[in-house]
Amino acid sequence: MSKAISLTTQAHQSIKQHLNIGDIAIDATIGNGHDTLFLSTQVGSEGLVFGFDVQAQAIETTQEKLEHEKVTKNTQLFHISHSEIKQHIPVSFHGKIKAIMFNLGYLPGSDKTVITQASSTLSALNQSLQLLADKGIITVAAYPGHSGGDLESDLISQWCEQLKPEQYSFELIHSSEKPTAPRLFIIKKLFLTE
């Protein structure tokens, strides 16, 4: 029996190859703030991280985590759905975001009926393509093992498959062989020459 792999670790390792000091990143679903903190550390004080979540608890927890680590100056948190990210990112940053992270499902330790929805996630992914820089990366951790998670994971898979291969590459990593196992989508925008 193969050992389950940590999708968070996989996502962070992939992003480290693309995200540098001074870059701009987005945590589209901040949850408990682990990815926000990771992104903030990667871009350093010269960079910028925008974080989004529909739950006030997620914003508060993440703000406390960032304050504890003394990295609040390079982060801006928004208490709104990830389906509204484009309108909250300054136009001057459109096409310049180097990394965008999604960690779908529900907020660990909270109300499990409040989950990300396939329609808002697909909207956020479409907006993310418009925000992403050349050689930028999007990671999406999806969880088909809960109610609504199957549909969301299937639709994201279909969305990835319709991406133009001359513009984007994508990889799908399963945490284990179980059909309901969490999975990680890694989408990379290729460098486009004029």
What pLDDT sits at residue 4? 56
Compute CA distances 45 → 42, 48, 51, 71, whole Å: 9, 8, 16, 8
pLDDT at 107 over 60: no
Residue-range domain boundaries for the chain: 7-189
Rounded Cα distance, 104 and 37, in Å: 17
**Alpha-carbon 172 to chain mean position:** 15
Rounded Cα distance, 12 and 2, in Å: 22
What pLDDT sits at residue 143? 81
Which two structure tokens, joined as six digits, stand for 154? 């299937």
What pLDDT sits at residue 146? 60
pLDDT at 109 over 70: no
CATH number for 7-189: choose from 3.40.50.150, 3.50.50.60, 3.20.20.70, 3.90.930.12.
3.40.50.150
pTM for the full predicted model = 0.89
